[in-house]
Structure 1
Amino acid sequence: MAPLRLSRGDIEPVLVTGLLRRDFTHERAALCARLFVEASLDGVYSHGLNRFPQFIGMVERGVVRPDREPSRVRSTGAVETWDGRLGPGNLNAWACMGRAIEMARDRGVGVVSLRNTNHWMRGGSYGLRAAGSGCIGVCMTNTQPNMPPWGGREAAVGNNPLVIAAPNEPYPILLDMAMSQFSYGKMNVHRQRGEKLPCPGGYDLDLQMTDEPGLILESELATPMGYWKGSGLAILIDLLVATLSGGSTTAEIGERGEEYGISQVFIAFDLGRVGEKAESRRVLEAIKSSLRRTPPLREGGAVRYPGQGTWQRRQQNEREGIPVDPGIWQRILQTQG
């Protein structure tokens, strides 16, 4: 079935109503809805509207606490630790990157670690917030175990996403990636469309590599990105976020049976304080120029910087409407009751 094409004006009021019915204040419901919609507007459907029904389910089960806001636990120079108190993950993450930006304005850099929070939905949203404020933003999170370490046959590490963003016009440079070859959300989108993955992305229940997303979602054994490299990086992200925040590790999250109480870190570098903005622009343009001069591998292809394709998808979706799976939209409408 062809996707619906809806404007953000069609979608946001529906999401806000569903959130208000579950004890969000209007201000927090509006921001929460905006973050979901903007993820899909940028083409990150797996962590945008597709996730909203699942998010509502976590609210109804009491895993996500709508009225909980993060609180500061300790502060040492340019480093702070906050407790998310199991509040909405996207609102907690938005607030903590905002705090990192505030500190970077004063000190050049701000580091905020966050424990006891929930899934942040689209991690790129917080990198974009930093870049839009003239900062380089770095964000990372751990997850429940959903990926075997290199050489292992059981899920024991998380696919622990990493986000790096930098100011750029018309759209920031944005790297937003899980440590698995494909995120679970992305694999679910391929499954819904009846598509295979572009390349093998994990193991089936017989521990055979496969490009069938449904088999990987069943086994929950995604392949680490870059094999041993992605596995190693995932382990070190887990170590970093849990150590800085004093929060849970991937193994401890996995003991709960459901993903909550996770650990995250948000870093902002104010380019006006740690260096010269003109020099930062020169470096950025030199890198982009080098990429543009690189001949494509295949005729008609293109070499792009991270975020360039996202900007193109945003422009298309602003013109034509955001594509929404009809089944997902029906589930979203059911949250109104």
Structure 2
Amino acid sequence: MGTVRLPFEEVKACLCQVLAGRGCPEKKAEKVAHEMARNSLEGVYTHGINRFARLIRNIDEGIVRPGAEPEVTVRMGAMEQVDGHLGLGITNAWFSMEEAVKLAKSYGIGLVALRNTNHWMRAATYGYQACDAGMAAVCFTNTMPNMPTWGAVDSRIGNNPLVFAFPRREGHLITDMAMSQFSYGALELARLQGRQMAIDAGFDTAGNLTRDPDSVIKSQRILPTGYWKGAALSFMLDIFAGVLSDGNTVSGVGRLSGDEHGVSQVFIAVDYRNLVTQEAAERIVEGAVKDLLASGKAQGTDRIIYTGQLTLECRADNLKNGIPVDEGVWNEISSLL
């Protein structure tokens, strides 16, 4: 099958209709459909349209409870703890960052730790949310066990995505990265498109480094970002998420039956304007961006970009020409109506 280009609003309407058919409350269906369509609109296809059918399966299996509401269980100054009650990952995470922003407005910084939640889809979503509110942000999540620690063969840590976000008038600065060299979503997309990864992605079942996405998916030995450094950072993010939320660590998530659920997440919003004027912040940011873009290009490099730049360009192209969607993926979603 090939690829079709679909308008954003058509995609969103279809996803919303499917969610409503699964008993999802109207406002939540609208929010989830919007964000998953937006993920694909902005080039994150692996956590947008391509993952939607899996979300519906999780709802059908009872892993995701679309009617559940997040509940603040602990309030302590600039910190809160929230129980997601296994609700929709997107709406639970949005609520938590919203709470973190409110706290930051009062205290200069806000931290919300969320337990018993589900996959938040694109991690950068909540960085953008904070930036749109004028806040800098850090957020991270743990996952099911899907990566061996350095030197091991069995998966006991997660690729625990991490986001850093800072607001900017010309386009927010967003770093959204898993602790693996490639996310499993990126591997699945490459396998779907029949291409190899640009660099080594992990090990095959024989223990050899490989760029073949199918081999890494089968072995479940994805390569940590920075090798042992990425493995160590993954472990510490997991400790922070599990302890601050009083929820599951990667190990605890792995003991739950079925697909990934019951994860723990942390959302931090920072009102940096309590420390520096907006004008000074903009001067510092623009100076750093300008210096970065002036970097000398290595051989084979087309251009230098800042983190988050490609998102704006992809969004503009897909709004104009339609979101590229694999026909097989879209047929599966259409069959859910």
Give the TM bin, normalised by the shorter chain. Answer: over 0.9
Superposition pairs of residues 2-81 of structure 1, within 5 angstroms: 2-81=2-81
Q: Which amino acid aligns with 1:61?
A: E
Q: Indicate the residue corresponding to 2:204 in structure 1.
A: 204
Cα RMSD for the two superposed structures: 1.0
Which whole-Å deviations, capped at 9, do the CAs of 1:131-171 have from their partners, x for residues lacking one?
Answer: 11111111100001111101111111000000111111332
Q: How many residues align?
A: 336
* CA apart distance, 1:272: 2.8
Q: Which amino acid aligns with 2:251?
A: A
Q: How does 1:1-337 map to 2 (within 5 A)?
A: 1-257=1-257, 258-298=259-299, 301-336=302-337
User: Equivalent residue of 2:147, what SS?
Assistant: coil
Q: Secondary structure at the match of 1:75?
A: strand
Task: Quote the offset at 1:259 in angstroms.
Answer: 1.2
CA contact (8 A) 1:204 1:215 kept: yes
Counterpart secondary structure, 2:114: strand
CA contact (8 A) 1:107 1:273 kept: no
Q: For the Cα contact (< 8 Å) 1:139–1:162, is it kept in 2? A: yes
Normalised TM-score (structure 2): 0.98
Inter-partner Cα distance in structure 1 for 2:110 and 2:88: 22
Please state how far the C-alpha of 1:69 moved relative to its aligned partner: 1.1
User: How far 1:275 moved relative to its partner?
Assistant: 2.6
| Shift of residue 240, structure 1, vs aligned partner | 0.6
Q: Which letter does structure 2 place at the counterpart of 1:294? A: S
Unaligned runs of 5+ in 1: none
Q: Deviations over 1:61-93 (max 9, x none)?
A: 000001001100101110100000000011100
How far the C-alpha of 1:299 sits from its partner, in A, is 5.9
1: CA distance, partners of 2:16 / 2:315? 22
Q: Is the 8 A contact 1:224 1:230 kept in 2?
A: yes
Amino acid at match of 2:276: G
* 1:105/1:273 contact within 8 Å kept: no
Deviation at 1:311, TM superposition (A): 1.2
Please, what TM-score do these two structures have when normalized by structure 1? 0.98
Q: Secondary structure at the match of 1:295?
A: coil
Mean CA deviation greater in 173-182 or 301-310: 301-310
Deviation at 1:276, TM superposition (A): 1.4
Q: Deviations over 1:294-326 (max 9, x none)?
A: 111136621111101111111111111111110
Aligned residues with identical type, % of pairs: 39
Q: Deviations over 1:104-128 (max 9, x none)?
A: 1111111000001011111110110
Residue 141 of structure 1 contacts residue 264 of structure 1 at CA under 8 Å; is this kept in 2? yes
Once the two structures are superposed, residues 208-262 of structure 1 have per-residue CA deviations (whole angstroms, 9 ceiling, x without a partner) of 1110001111111100001011000000000010010000010111112431111
Runs (4+) off by over 4 Å: none
Q: Which runs of 5+ in 2 are unaligned?
A: none
